[in-house]
Chain A
Amino acid sequence: MQEGGYFLAGIGSRRSLRPTRELVTVAVSTLVLILLCALLAPSALTYGALSGSLPFAAILAIVGLGQMLVVQQGGFDLSVPGGVSLAVVIASHYPAGDDALLPTAVALALVCALVAGLVNGVLIGILRLNAIIATIGMNALLYAGVFAVSGGVPRITTQLLASIAGGEIFGIGHSVLFAVALLAVVWFVMKHTVAGRRFEAIGANPLASRAIGLPVKQHQVMAYVLAQVLYCCAGLLIAGITTQPTAFQGDSLLLPSVAVVVLGGTSLLGGRGFPVSTVIAAFFLTLLSQFALSVGLPYSAQTIIQALALGFGIAVYSLRWTALKTLFTSSREVKG
């Protein structure tokens, strides 16, 4: 009983079930966007449109969860493109169309992800290198791997992977189910296990955590390892969904991965993570670009809208509204 209580923290406590401010913000924004879509671009909400765009939201969500773990430890992971692209090329080049070789390819991709994550983690968590610099270096190394495997050339995925990643159950894409399952694991481990609670505490204040005897370095290393594993999962899904992925499929995911973490409410200074909000933010961002496409906006406007959404997200969480308010009222008082 005691051990169980030690392992599982806070299950059933009322506090953990109350929606956080971050979750409410991103959920309300998403609802507003859905309303806007219904009014201005109803085609973006049809079953066909959603089943086409949700797999990409799922991929972004998985990558976002990985990035969130790193951001929670006060870091940044810029090796997202390399990690995702390496998984894509291993899954498409190694089997070369042969379904029987797919399990080996998946295992190989996971091993590469574990090694890359471990190196990142050791460099940053133990040797105290700057996260941005270490992960840029790792990204270059991973891209070397991408070129070594593929020579930069795309290859068609195997039928098996295409049906695993691109298939549907009751009209819901498998990739969406994968994302939900991974979210459930991340959420449960982070919010309801001792390891997860310590992970958040260490992210919030590593010095205090060390002072009370928590294994700070271990948790920081784990953040990078688990992030790479999640990127790898996303890469495997992309390889299945796009049928003929390029060798650089991860490139377009780096900035959105940070964007969904920020929109989800996780502080860039580290600490508490918001996995559910991050996944909703991934849906929000994908729906936003579908909205812009459906309204028929030019490409430049689409990019601007996404930038504004990101700016809005940062402003909501980072600006100290109360401080601004006091500043405003006090200056008025001075004037008066």
Chain B
Amino acid sequence: MTNSIRKTTLAMTAAFVATAFAGQAMAETPSWCGPNQASVALLDGFGGNSWRQVTTASAREEAMKCPSVTSVEYADGQGNTQKAISDIKGMAAKGVNALVVFGDAGPAVLPAVTEVFKAGTIVVPYRVDIGGKEGENYNKWIGASFVNDGENWGRWIKEILPSGGKILFLSGPAGNSQGLDELKGLKNVLGAEYVFVNAEPFEVTNWDPALTQQVLTAAISKNPDIDVIVSDFGPSLVGALPAFEKFNVSIPALATSDGNSLGCFWTDNQAKNDKFKLFTVATGNDNARLAMRWAVALATGGTRADLPGSIYLSAEMSAEEQTKAINQ
């Protein structure tokens, strides 16, 4: 008898706790998460560095906030355009409802994106401009403005070198759109008194630390008086910067993207190198979260009005708090 009472009490407590949790979960379900069940996938063009791993984990975490999302899949294009294209088509063919695409290969993936979009899959490309139009080739593009990054670097360079100087600009693979946009931004701000000592449009490093090291050595030996290095992958410079020591010159100012190893390197070496100043732009892992929100909102029937442009996911503040801050 006592046993059954205990059992009943236990069951009731369990039911109560479950309801309470469910209530809490309901309360925490974001408005961009709709009632329709959907599967989503993140398609990376190249997943082989720590930044990509963190970005992928962020996007996955964002998707998991929505209980209507049944699965989050991932495919790594491994820097191979053909694989990236077949990943996009393969995921759509598998019946995944929404795709978030990091289109590293640029316009080369547009035909695949357009094809799956026309077949009814929700596609949200992000970060890299793949061309095409919203509503025609894909649902929504979530982009970071690399021109803006270039302008920010340019303004800082003007601040530390008001009367001009020699700039070495390093970017990734030949012709990558990120590097070209950044250069456009730099040139928007900097006048003719700032001389680029690299080959046009930028020195190719493939974002590979070993190649970066060789390119940098050649550049320094030719121009030991470089005033500022601009690079869109800061951490790849850590192995290369000690080269300046061999030329007995200070490491120059550095306008680049953030990364913990680079920050530590600056802390350790700034005292010995009088010209070594550091300016970094955020690498924008939050783009992936916003892209995922759009994909989930469109696939599950959530509210899209809640995703305003001036909300910064990287701030880790609620949208309401940020809205309040903006409207003050």
Chain A residues, CB < 8 A from B215: 293
Within the complex, what minimum Cβ distance (angstroms) separates A210 from chain B? Answer: 42
Which of B105-113, B146-154, B232-240, B272-280 is the contact stretch? B232-240
Q: Is A10 an interface residue (CB 8 A)?
A: no
Q: Is B261 an interface residue (CB 8 A)?
A: yes
Chain A residues, CB < 8 A from B206: 252
Chain A residues, CB < 8 A from B219: 293
Q: Which of A154, A241, A293, A299 is B218 in contact with, Cβ under 8 Å?
A: A293
Q: Which of B200, B209, B238: most chain A Cβ within 10 A? A: B209
Q: How far is the CA of A163 from the CA of B274 in the complex (A)?
A: 24
Cβ-defined contact, A290 with B48, below 8 A: no
Number of A-B contacts (CB under 8 A): 105
Q: How far is the CA of A156 from the CA of B216 in the complex (A)?
A: 20
- The binding surface of chain B is classed by DSSP as helix
Q: Which of A47, A242, A246, A294 is B213 in contact with, Cβ under 8 Å?
A: A242
Chain A residues, CB < 8 A from B200: 298
Q: Is B220 an interface residue (CB 8 A)?
A: yes
Interface size class of A (residues with CB under 8 A): 35 or more
Chain A residues, CB < 8 A from B236: 244
When A242-B209, A244-B209 are in contact, do A53 and B217 touch as well, CB less than 8 Å?
Answer: yes
Q: Is B53 an interface residue (CB 8 A)?
A: yes
Q: How far is the CA of A248 from the CA of B208 in the complex (A)?
A: 9
Cβ-defined contact, B213 with A52, below 8 A: yes
Cβ-defined contact, B221 with A294, below 8 A: yes
Cβ-defined contact, B238 with A296, below 8 A: no
Cβ-defined contact, A48 with B217, below 8 A: yes
Q: Which of A49, A298, A300 is B217 in contact with, Cβ under 8 Å?
A: A49
Cβ-defined contact, B50 with A52, below 8 A: no
Cβ-defined contact, A51 with B246, below 8 A: yes
Q: How far is the CA of A4 from the CA of B119 in the complex (A)?
A: 77
Closest 8 CB pairs of A and B: A52-B217, A49-B221, A243-B239, A293-B218, A48-B247, A43-B221, A43-B222, A152-B48
Chain A contact residues, CB within 8 Å of chain B: 41, 43-44, 46-49, 51-53, 56, 151-154, 156, 238, 241-249, 252, 286, 289-290, 293-294, 296-300
Given contacts A49-B220, A244-B236, 10 further A-B contacts (CB under 8 A): A48-B243, A49-B217, A49-B218, A51-B246, A56-B210, A152-B49, A241-B210, A242-B209, A246-B49, A293-B215
